[in-house]
Amino acid sequence: MNEPSDGLPLFQVDAFTSSPFAGNPAAVCLLDRPREAEWMQALAAEMNLSETAFALLRQPRQSGQQPQDSQSGWDLRWFTPAVEVDLCGHATLATAHVLYSEGLLAPEEPARFHTRSGLLTVTRRGAVLEMDFPADPPRELDEKTEDRLPEDLARALGTRPVWTGRGRDDLLALLGSEQEVRALKPDMSLLKGLEARGVIVTASGGSGSDFVSRFFAPAAGIDEDPVTGSAHCTLCSFWAPRLGRDSLSARQVSPRGGELRVALKGDRVLLLGNAVTVFRGRLLV
Partners of 268 in beta bridges? 134, 265
Catalytic residue status for 51: yes
- On whether the CB atoms of residues 7 and 284 are closer than 8 A, the answer is yes
- Residue 219: CB atoms within 10 A of its CB come to 19
CB atoms within 10 A of CB 65: 12
Q: Check if the beta carbon of residue 28 is closer than 8 Å to that of residue 276.
A: no
Asked if 218 contacts 191 with a C-beta cutoff of 8 angstroms, the reply is yes
Paired strand residues for 22: none
Q: Which residue in the list 36, 51, 151, 224 is annotated as catalytic?
A: 51
Q: Give the number of C-alpha atoms closer than 13 A to the C-alpha of residue 106, restricted to the C-beta side.
A: 3
DSSP of 139-203? EEP-TTTSTTHHHHHHHHHTS--SEEEE-SSEEEEE-S-HHHHHH----HHHHHTSSSSEEEEEE
7 conformational bin, left if phi > 0, alpha if psi -120 to 50, beta if neither: left
- Distance separating alpha carbons of residues 280 and 285, to the nearest angstrom: 16
Catalytic residues: 51
